Amino acid sequence: MLKRKTVIDCLVYALTRILMSKSSRLLHFIALLLGSHLVGFALELDSGSYTINQDWSQEQGYERSYFVHAPDGVEPLPLFIFLHGNGGNAERSMAGFIKRHKELSKRYNIVFAQGYLKSWNIVSERSQAPDREFIEAIVAELAEYSNVQASGAVLMGSSNGAALVNQFAIETQLDHFSHYITVVSQLNAWQHDGNAFKAKGSDNNYNESVVPLRGKCLLNVSGVDDRLVPYSGGPSRAIRAKNGKLAFVGAERSAFLWAQHYGYTGEQLSQPSESSEAMDTFSYLDGTVIHYKMKTRGHNAGGGLTETMLLKFLDQSSALR
Protein backbone atom coordinates (compact mmCIF):
# COMPACT_ATOMS: atom_id res chain seq x y z
CA MET A 1 0.00 0.00 0.00
CA LEU A 2 1.16 3.55 -0.67
CA LYS A 3 2.88 5.13 2.35
CA ARG A 4 1.34 8.46 3.30
CA LYS A 5 2.31 11.34 5.62
CA THR A 6 -0.90 12.17 7.46
CA VAL A 7 -2.14 14.02 10.48
CA ILE A 8 -1.88 10.76 12.42
CA ASP A 9 1.84 10.57 11.62
CA CYS A 10 2.28 14.01 13.12
CA LEU A 11 0.26 13.16 16.23
CA VAL A 12 2.14 9.93 16.78
CA TYR A 13 5.44 11.77 16.40
CA ALA A 14 4.33 14.41 18.93
CA LEU A 15 3.22 11.72 21.35
CA THR A 16 6.54 9.95 21.08
CA ARG A 17 8.45 13.15 21.78
CA ILE A 18 6.34 13.90 24.81
CA LEU A 19 6.65 10.41 26.24
CA MET A 20 10.42 10.32 25.67
CA SER A 21 11.02 13.74 27.20
CA LYS A 22 11.47 14.55 30.86
CA SER A 23 8.12 16.27 30.93
CA SER A 24 5.75 16.56 33.80
CA ARG A 25 3.11 14.04 34.81
CA LEU A 26 0.53 16.39 33.31
CA LEU A 27 2.12 16.21 29.86
CA HIS A 28 2.37 12.47 30.20
CA PHE A 29 -1.35 12.31 31.00
CA ILE A 30 -2.19 14.53 27.99
CA ALA A 31 -0.16 12.29 25.72
CA LEU A 32 -1.97 9.19 26.92
CA LEU A 33 -5.33 10.93 26.50
CA LEU A 34 -4.51 11.93 22.92
CA GLY A 35 -3.32 8.42 22.19
CA SER A 36 -6.61 6.93 23.34
CA HIS A 37 -8.47 9.07 20.81
CA LEU A 38 -6.31 7.93 17.90
CA VAL A 39 -7.98 4.53 17.97
CA GLY A 40 -10.59 4.46 15.19
CA PHE A 41 -9.35 7.74 13.67
CA ALA A 42 -10.02 7.38 9.91
CA LEU A 43 -7.35 8.28 7.39
CA GLU A 44 -8.11 10.15 4.19
CA LEU A 45 -7.75 8.19 0.97
CA ASP A 46 -4.88 9.53 -1.17
CA SER A 47 -4.23 9.09 -4.87
CA GLY A 48 -1.73 6.33 -5.55
CA SER A 49 -1.24 2.58 -5.87
CA TYR A 50 -2.64 -0.02 -3.48
CA THR A 51 -2.71 -3.81 -3.29
CA ILE A 52 -4.94 -6.66 -2.15
CA ASN A 53 -3.33 -9.99 -1.19
CA GLN A 54 -5.05 -13.10 -2.58
CA ASP A 55 -4.48 -16.85 -2.92
CA TRP A 56 -5.89 -19.08 -5.66
CA SER A 57 -4.90 -22.03 -7.85
CA GLN A 58 -2.43 -20.02 -9.93
CA GLU A 59 -0.87 -17.92 -7.17
CA GLN A 60 -0.20 -17.85 -3.42
CA GLY A 61 0.17 -14.59 -1.52
CA TYR A 62 -0.19 -12.58 -4.72
CA GLU A 63 -0.35 -8.79 -4.42
CA ARG A 64 -3.05 -7.58 -6.81
CA SER A 65 -2.83 -3.91 -7.76
CA TYR A 66 -5.37 -1.15 -8.04
CA PHE A 67 -4.89 2.56 -8.59
CA VAL A 68 -6.76 5.47 -7.04
CA HIS A 69 -7.46 9.06 -8.03
CA ALA A 70 -8.90 10.84 -5.00
CA PRO A 71 -10.15 14.41 -5.63
CA ASP A 72 -9.00 17.17 -3.30
CA GLY A 73 -11.30 17.87 -0.37
CA VAL A 74 -12.53 16.10 2.72
CA GLU A 75 -16.17 15.56 1.72
CA PRO A 76 -16.90 11.81 1.44
CA LEU A 77 -17.35 10.79 -2.19
CA PRO A 78 -18.55 7.44 -3.59
CA LEU A 79 -16.32 5.00 -5.45
CA PHE A 80 -16.21 4.67 -9.24
CA ILE A 81 -14.40 1.44 -10.12
CA PHE A 82 -13.36 0.75 -13.71
CA LEU A 83 -12.37 -2.65 -15.14
CA HIS A 84 -10.24 -2.65 -18.31
CA GLY A 85 -10.66 -4.99 -21.26
CA ASN A 86 -8.50 -8.02 -22.09
CA GLY A 87 -4.87 -6.97 -22.38
CA GLY A 88 -5.50 -3.69 -20.59
CA ASN A 89 -3.30 -1.74 -18.21
CA ALA A 90 -5.17 -0.13 -15.32
CA GLU A 91 -2.67 2.58 -14.43
CA ARG A 92 -2.25 3.89 -17.98
CA SER A 93 -5.98 3.65 -18.67
CA MET A 94 -6.82 5.72 -15.59
CA ALA A 95 -4.85 8.74 -16.80
CA GLY A 96 -6.76 8.87 -20.10
CA PHE A 97 -10.12 8.30 -18.40
CA ILE A 98 -9.62 11.17 -15.96
CA LYS A 99 -8.54 13.48 -18.78
CA ARG A 100 -11.74 12.69 -20.71
CA HIS A 101 -14.06 12.76 -17.68
CA LYS A 102 -13.05 15.82 -15.69
CA GLU A 103 -16.42 16.47 -14.06
CA LEU A 104 -16.99 12.83 -13.12
CA SER A 105 -13.49 12.72 -11.62
CA LYS A 106 -14.47 15.52 -9.25
CA ARG A 107 -17.57 13.68 -8.02
CA TYR A 108 -16.07 10.23 -7.37
CA ASN A 109 -13.02 8.53 -5.95
CA ILE A 110 -11.84 6.89 -9.18
CA VAL A 111 -10.40 3.37 -8.93
CA PHE A 112 -8.82 1.34 -11.75
CA ALA A 113 -8.23 -2.31 -10.88
CA GLN A 114 -5.66 -4.50 -12.67
CA GLY A 115 -6.76 -7.89 -13.93
CA TYR A 116 -4.45 -10.88 -13.39
CA LEU A 117 -2.59 -11.68 -16.65
CA LYS A 118 -4.30 -8.52 -17.98
CA SER A 119 -7.68 -10.30 -18.03
CA TRP A 120 -10.70 -11.10 -15.89
CA ASN A 121 -11.83 -14.62 -15.05
CA ILE A 122 -14.87 -15.22 -17.27
CA VAL A 123 -15.61 -18.76 -18.60
CA SER A 124 -12.27 -19.60 -20.26
CA GLU A 125 -9.88 -16.67 -19.82
CA ARG A 126 -6.25 -17.32 -18.88
CA SER A 127 -6.91 -15.89 -15.44
CA GLN A 128 -8.53 -18.14 -12.84
CA ALA A 129 -8.36 -15.44 -10.18
CA PRO A 130 -11.21 -14.75 -7.71
CA ASP A 131 -12.15 -11.42 -9.24
CA ARG A 132 -15.46 -10.82 -7.49
CA GLU A 133 -13.70 -11.21 -4.16
CA PHE A 134 -10.96 -8.85 -5.37
CA ILE A 135 -13.47 -6.08 -6.13
CA GLU A 136 -15.32 -6.69 -2.87
CA ALA A 137 -12.03 -6.48 -0.94
CA ILE A 138 -11.20 -3.17 -2.62
CA VAL A 139 -14.57 -1.74 -1.57
CA ALA A 140 -14.24 -3.04 1.99
CA GLU A 141 -10.76 -1.56 2.33
CA LEU A 142 -11.52 1.84 0.83
CA ALA A 143 -14.81 2.24 2.71
CA GLU A 144 -12.73 2.66 5.89
CA TYR A 145 -11.34 6.00 4.72
CA SER A 146 -12.94 9.24 5.94
CA ASN A 147 -13.35 10.72 2.44
CA VAL A 148 -15.02 7.64 0.94
CA GLN A 149 -18.81 7.26 0.90
CA ALA A 150 -19.67 3.58 1.33
CA SER A 151 -22.94 3.74 -0.60
CA GLY A 152 -23.59 4.81 -4.18
CA ALA A 153 -20.59 3.02 -5.70
CA VAL A 154 -20.34 2.53 -9.47
CA LEU A 155 -18.80 -0.44 -11.30
CA MET A 156 -17.97 0.09 -14.98
CA GLY A 157 -16.15 -2.22 -17.37
CA SER A 158 -15.19 -2.48 -21.01
CA SER A 159 -15.33 -5.73 -23.03
CA ASN A 160 -13.84 -8.48 -20.80
CA GLY A 161 -14.13 -6.01 -17.91
CA ALA A 162 -17.81 -5.49 -18.71
CA ALA A 163 -18.30 -9.27 -18.62
CA LEU A 164 -16.98 -9.17 -15.06
CA VAL A 165 -19.34 -6.29 -14.22
CA ASN A 166 -22.22 -8.52 -15.33
CA GLN A 167 -20.91 -11.45 -13.29
CA PHE A 168 -20.33 -9.23 -10.28
CA ALA A 169 -23.88 -7.87 -10.49
CA ILE A 170 -25.16 -11.45 -10.71
CA GLU A 171 -23.23 -12.82 -7.74
CA THR A 172 -22.34 -10.15 -5.21
CA GLN A 173 -24.21 -9.69 -1.96
CA LEU A 174 -22.34 -6.45 -1.28
CA ASP A 175 -24.93 -3.70 -1.39
CA HIS A 176 -22.55 -0.73 -1.75
CA PHE A 177 -23.15 -0.45 -5.51
CA SER A 178 -26.00 1.53 -7.04
CA HIS A 179 -24.97 1.62 -10.72
CA TYR A 180 -23.47 -0.86 -13.17
CA ILE A 181 -22.13 0.09 -16.61
CA THR A 182 -21.22 -2.49 -19.27
CA VAL A 183 -19.49 -1.38 -22.46
CA VAL A 184 -19.40 -3.80 -25.43
CA SER A 185 -20.22 -6.93 -23.48
CA GLN A 186 -23.81 -7.78 -22.74
CA LEU A 187 -24.70 -10.97 -20.85
CA ASN A 188 -23.13 -14.10 -22.27
CA ALA A 189 -25.00 -17.41 -22.55
CA TRP A 190 -23.19 -18.87 -19.54
CA GLN A 191 -24.27 -15.98 -17.31
CA HIS A 192 -27.91 -16.33 -18.32
CA ASP A 193 -29.16 -19.58 -19.87
CA GLY A 194 -32.54 -18.20 -20.97
CA ASN A 195 -34.19 -19.12 -17.68
CA ALA A 196 -31.99 -17.84 -14.86
CA PHE A 197 -28.85 -15.93 -13.95
CA LYS A 198 -25.91 -18.22 -13.19
CA ALA A 199 -23.09 -18.08 -10.65
CA LYS A 200 -19.64 -18.88 -12.04
CA GLY A 201 -18.73 -21.45 -9.39
CA SER A 202 -15.22 -22.53 -8.42
CA ASP A 203 -14.90 -24.66 -11.57
CA ASN A 204 -16.26 -22.04 -14.00
CA ASN A 205 -19.16 -24.26 -15.03
CA TYR A 206 -21.97 -21.77 -14.27
CA ASN A 207 -24.34 -24.45 -12.98
CA GLU A 208 -25.93 -22.68 -10.00
CA SER A 209 -29.00 -20.48 -10.54
CA VAL A 210 -28.88 -17.33 -8.40
CA VAL A 211 -31.01 -14.26 -7.74
CA PRO A 212 -28.97 -11.04 -8.06
CA LEU A 213 -29.53 -8.10 -5.73
CA ARG A 214 -32.28 -5.79 -6.91
CA GLY A 215 -32.67 -2.03 -6.65
CA LYS A 216 -29.80 -1.18 -9.02
CA CYS A 217 -29.38 0.87 -12.18
CA LEU A 218 -27.71 -0.66 -15.23
CA LEU A 219 -26.49 0.85 -18.49
CA ASN A 220 -25.21 -1.09 -21.48
CA VAL A 221 -23.53 0.21 -24.64
CA SER A 222 -23.13 -2.11 -27.63
CA GLY A 223 -22.21 -1.65 -31.28
CA VAL A 224 -24.21 -3.11 -34.17
CA ASP A 225 -21.02 -3.78 -36.16
CA ASP A 226 -19.18 -5.51 -33.29
CA ARG A 227 -17.36 -8.51 -34.76
CA LEU A 228 -16.03 -9.72 -31.40
CA VAL A 229 -19.20 -9.57 -29.28
CA PRO A 230 -22.12 -10.06 -31.69
CA TYR A 231 -24.86 -7.48 -31.13
CA SER A 232 -27.67 -9.89 -32.01
CA GLY A 233 -26.24 -12.69 -29.88
CA GLY A 234 -24.74 -16.04 -30.74
CA PRO A 235 -21.13 -17.25 -30.73
CA SER A 236 -18.19 -14.88 -30.93
CA ARG A 237 -15.78 -15.31 -33.83
CA ALA A 238 -12.76 -15.14 -31.53
CA ILE A 239 -13.55 -15.43 -27.80
CA ARG A 240 -13.13 -19.02 -26.73
CA ALA A 241 -15.22 -21.00 -24.28
CA LYS A 242 -15.17 -24.56 -22.99
CA ASN A 243 -17.40 -25.77 -25.79
CA GLY A 244 -15.88 -23.79 -28.64
CA LYS A 245 -16.60 -20.07 -28.96
CA LEU A 246 -18.24 -17.94 -26.28
CA ALA A 247 -21.92 -17.35 -27.06
CA PHE A 248 -23.77 -14.17 -26.12
CA VAL A 249 -27.34 -13.14 -25.41
CA GLY A 250 -28.51 -10.44 -27.83
CA ALA A 251 -27.70 -6.95 -26.53
CA GLU A 252 -31.33 -5.77 -26.53
CA ARG A 253 -32.47 -9.03 -24.94
CA SER A 254 -29.77 -8.71 -22.28
CA ALA A 255 -31.00 -5.26 -21.26
CA PHE A 256 -34.56 -6.58 -21.10
CA LEU A 257 -33.52 -9.48 -18.84
CA TRP A 258 -31.90 -7.07 -16.40
CA ALA A 259 -34.94 -4.75 -16.53
CA GLN A 260 -37.23 -7.71 -15.90
CA HIS A 261 -35.14 -8.73 -12.92
CA TYR A 262 -35.27 -5.18 -11.55
CA GLY A 263 -39.06 -5.13 -11.69
CA TYR A 264 -40.17 -4.42 -15.25
CA THR A 265 -43.35 -6.38 -16.08
CA GLY A 266 -43.97 -5.43 -19.71
CA GLU A 267 -42.81 -6.92 -22.99
CA GLN A 268 -39.34 -6.42 -24.41
CA LEU A 269 -39.16 -3.14 -26.31
CA SER A 270 -39.28 -3.72 -30.06
CA GLN A 271 -38.80 -0.03 -30.87
CA PRO A 272 -36.37 2.40 -29.26
CA SER A 273 -37.51 4.92 -26.68
CA GLU A 274 -35.44 7.55 -28.51
CA SER A 275 -33.57 7.49 -31.80
CA SER A 276 -30.94 9.50 -33.66
CA GLU A 277 -28.79 8.91 -36.72
CA ALA A 278 -26.00 7.36 -34.65
CA MET A 279 -27.81 5.79 -31.71
CA ASP A 280 -31.03 4.15 -30.51
CA THR A 281 -31.95 4.28 -26.83
CA PHE A 282 -33.95 1.54 -25.11
CA SER A 283 -35.07 2.69 -21.66
CA TYR A 284 -36.85 0.65 -18.99
CA LEU A 285 -38.24 1.62 -15.59
CA ASP A 286 -37.84 5.37 -16.13
CA GLY A 287 -34.16 5.03 -16.96
CA THR A 288 -33.25 2.44 -14.33
CA VAL A 289 -32.04 0.19 -17.18
CA ILE A 290 -30.74 1.78 -20.38
CA HIS A 291 -29.34 0.19 -23.51
CA TYR A 292 -27.57 2.35 -26.09
CA LYS A 293 -27.46 0.78 -29.55
CA MET A 294 -24.59 2.39 -31.46
CA LYS A 295 -25.68 2.00 -35.08
CA THR A 296 -22.42 2.94 -36.78
CA ARG A 297 -19.90 1.44 -34.36
CA GLY A 298 -18.42 -1.95 -33.54
CA HIS A 299 -16.27 -2.97 -30.57
CA ASN A 300 -15.38 0.71 -30.21
CA ALA A 301 -18.98 1.57 -29.27
CA GLY A 302 -17.85 2.96 -25.91
CA GLY A 303 -16.47 5.94 -27.81
CA GLY A 304 -20.04 7.08 -28.32
CA LEU A 305 -20.70 7.25 -24.57
CA THR A 306 -20.06 10.85 -23.59
CA GLU A 307 -19.42 12.17 -20.11
CA THR A 308 -22.76 14.00 -20.28
CA MET A 309 -24.56 10.69 -20.94
CA LEU A 310 -22.67 9.03 -18.10
CA LEU A 311 -23.46 11.77 -15.60
CA LYS A 312 -27.14 11.76 -16.56
CA PHE A 313 -27.29 8.02 -15.92
CA LEU A 314 -25.40 8.31 -12.63
CA ASP A 315 -27.89 10.90 -11.43
CA GLN A 316 -30.62 8.32 -12.01
CA SER A 317 -32.03 6.50 -8.97
CA SER A 318 -33.56 3.03 -9.20
CA ALA A 319 -37.30 3.24 -9.76
CA LEU A 320 -37.92 0.33 -7.39
CA ARG A 321 -35.14 0.54 -4.79
| Contact status, residue 167 vs residue 133, Cβ threshold 8 Å | no
| Same structural domain, 92 and 229 | yes
Q: Is residue 190 part of a domain?
A: yes
Q: What is the pLDDT of residue 11?
A: 46
Q: What pLDDT does residue 317 have?
A: 87
Residues 282, 223 share a domain: yes
Q: Are residues 273 and 162 in the same domain?
A: yes
Which pLDDT does position 267 carry in this prediction? 98
Specify whether 34 is located in the same domain as 164: no
Residues 170 and 33 in one domain: no
3-class DSSP state of 246:
strand
Asked, for residue 319, whether it belongs to a domain, the answer is: no
- Do residues 80 and 148 touch, judged by C-beta distance below 8 A? no
Specify whether 19 is located in the same domain as 55.
Answer: no
Q: Cβ neighbours of residue 55 under 8 Å, at least 6 residues apart?
A: 61, 62
Assigned domain for 67 exists: yes
pLDDT tens digits, 56-100: 999 999 999 999 999 998 799 999 999 999 999 999 999 999 999
CA angle 137, 138, 144 (to 5 degrees): 95
- Give the structural domain span for 226: 50-314
pLDDT value of position 243: 83
Burial class (CB in 10 A: 0-12, 13-18, 19+), 267: exposed
- The 3-state DSSP class for residue 300 equals coil
Query: Which pLDDT score, from 0 to 100, does residue 318 have?
Result: 76
- Would you state the pLDDT for residue 321? 53
How big is the CA angle at 317 (ends 114 and 253), to the nearest 5 degrees? 70
Rounded CA separation 213/155 (Å): 14
Q: 128, 70 in Cβ contact below 8 A? A: no
Residues 6+ apart with CB under 8 A from 294: 221, 222, 223, 224, 278, 279, 301, 304
Co-location of 96 and 203 in the same domain: yes
Q: What is the mean pLDDT of each run of 10 residues along the chain (321 residues)?
A: 41 43 44 44 91 98 98 94 98 96 98 98 97 98 97 98 98 98 98 98 96 98 98 97 95 98 98 98 98 98 98 87 53
Angle, CA of 225, 228 and 229, to the nearest 5°: 80
The reply to whether 290 and 252 lie within a common domain is yes
CATH classification of the domain holding 284:
3.40.50.1820
Q: Is residue 320 part of a domain?
A: no
In a domain, 86, yes or no: yes
Q: Residue 69 pairs with which residues in a beta bridge?
A: 110
- Residue 44 in any domain: the answer is no
Q: Are residues 175 and 308 in the same domain?
A: yes
Cβ neighbors of 110 (< 8 A, separation 6 or more) are 68, 69, 70, 80, 82, 94, 97, 98, 104
